Amino acid sequence: MRVDVAVLRRDFPIFEAQPAPFHYLDSAATAQICRPALEALCRFEGKARANVKRGVYRLAEAATRAFEEARRQVARLLGGVDPAEVVFTAGTTLALNLAAHGLSPRLGPGRRVLVSVLEHHSNLVPWQLACARTGAELVAVPATADGRLDHEALERLLDSRVAVVALTHASNVTGAVSDVARVARAVRAVGAVLVVDGAQRIPHGPVDVRRLGCDLYAFSGHKAYGATGAGVLWGRRELLEPFPPFLGGGEMITRVTLAHSSYREPPHRFEAGTPPIGPVLALGAAARWMMAQDWQALRAHEEALTRRLLAGLAAMRDVRILGPTDVGERIGVVAFTLESHHPHDICQLLDERGVCTRGGHHCAQPLMDHFGIEASVRASLAPYNDEADVDALLEGLETVRRILG
């Protein structure tokens, strides 16, 4: 079934608001918010605003019901997991910091944490800090020459010393999708815990975390067609239950004295204070919107656009594509360099033609080092993109090459 992008774009108010030409190719950083999510956010803030979990009046009780309904919608997006396994956070970064904190009791001298060279800093720095606190060793899993996870190298590194493996489901630079199910089987064999950064993969369709076999899975609402300020850490209940509190304050407790506090069960133990209520409701609405889409058609649409973009870039002799040049096992995130020209200059010139791309190290400096560069241009696709967006980028690059010489 062919995707009617014009119809789909009606669900994204940004396309009505921005003057033409407008070609948004930076969804890997922040996807546009879908109309149901925006309406949920505005409805709460303008007509139904009250704090959740503690109020006993009708407005507060309604807010709490809506908040917990959002948790159920996210649970559906993740394959129908138990909603009590869904922890709301401020985003992927906080979710992964929570994971590193909660797993710290498993670490110590003689123990190892494996992270891949592909990781966003949000799935690297928290593990550096955890290892520094506990005396565990951080070990890097290499990437292949074309920017994929080196599965064979990972499996060689797995032994009884490994306590945690933390990796991205899909790279925010190369677009490469890791075979999480394969990794999970190998990790389980040595008794380690598998933490997955799903921030880039979730926007490309629902994920069944139980089928993947991972133990913890993190993502952000603002990359999944919701609002900024909300994210998720899903974890197997038996793993979350012994986690110590990450942040202390109201709501995460059952009893507080001056000398001691006792704590609630997950997920509430990890949701101290007033949560980002509006953004969470937007995330729930975005999850519901995502579950209503035909992802088989959308994935075919994305593959066609990615193939078109890769072919156009490959035809430019001074362009270097970072990552796999085939559309198998990848998402529509394509990073590249233009010989002798800084990515920021390229992005600014593209912006003059209405093409929105991102230039920099993409919070993945070890991967930049792997490729022997400091930065790159990145174009990232979403369901609302079409051939005109890809062609505008390619035509814009031809103009940039003429201007920069």
The two tokens of residue 96 are 């992964």
Confirm whether 363 is a catalytic residue.
Answer: yes
Q: Are residues 256 and 348 in the same domain?
A: no
Residues 260 and 333 in one domain: no
Q: Of the residues 257, 291, 325, which one is the last residue of a structural domain?
A: 291
Q: Are residue 119 and residue 147 in the same domain, yes or no? A: yes
Q: What is the CATH number of the domain that holds 399?
A: 3.90.1150.10
Q: What is the CATH number of the domain that holds 248?
A: 3.40.640.10
- The tally of domains found in the chain comes to 2
Residues 151 and 274 in one domain: yes
* Contacts of 331 by beta carbon, 8 Å cutoff, 6+ apart: 170, 175, 177, 200, 201, 204, 302, 306, 381
End-to-end Cα separation, the chain, in angstroms: 43
Main-chain dihedrals φ then ψ at residue 247, nearest 5 degrees: -120, 140
Q: What does the alpha-carbon distance between residue 326 and residue 310 come to, in Å, rounded to a whole number? A: 8
Same domain, residue pair 194 and 274:
yes
Residue 41 CA, distance from chain mean position: 21
Element (H, E) at 322: strand 319-322
**Domain span at residue 356?**
5-32+294-404
Q: What CA–CA distance (Å, rounded) separates 215 from 212?
A: 9
Amino acid identity, position 44: F
At which of 265, 291, 317 does a domain end?
291
d(CA 304, CA 327): 8
- pLDDT tens by residue, the chain, 405 residues: 799 999 999 999 999 999 999 999 999 999 999 999 999 999 999 999 999 998 999 999 999 999 999 999 999 999 999 999 999 999 999 999 999 999 999 999 999 999 999 999 999 999 999 999 999 999 999 999 999 999 999 999 999 999 999 999 999 999 999 999 999 999 999 999 999 999 999 999 999 999 999 999 999 999 999 999 999 999 999 999 999 999 999 999 999 999 999 999 999 999 999 999 999 999 999 999 999 999 999 999 999 999 999 999 999 999 999 999 999 889 999 999 999 899 999 999 999 999 999 999 999 999 999 999 999 999 999 999 999 999 999 999 999 999 997
The Cα–Cα gap between 260 and 253 comes to 11
Q: How far is CA 224 from the centre of its chain?
A: 8
Q: Are residues 106 and 242 in the same domain?
A: yes
Are 286 and 161 in the same domain? Answer: yes
According to DSSP, the residues that pair with 330 across neighbouring strands are: 176
Q: Verify that 258 and 349 share a domain, yes or no.
A: no
* b/e map 9-24, b = 16+ CB within 10 Å: bebbeebeeeeeeebb
Which residue, 268, 291, 314, sits at the end of a domain? 291
Which one from 42, 214, 347, 363 is the annotated catalytic residue?
A: 363
My answer on whether 137 and 45 are in the same domain is: yes
Q: Are residues 28 and 44 in the same domain?
A: no
Q: Are residues 122 and 259 in the same domain?
A: yes
Burial annotation 257-271 (CB, 10 A radius, 16+ → b, else e)? eeeeeebbebbbbbb
Residues 312 and 280 in one domain: no
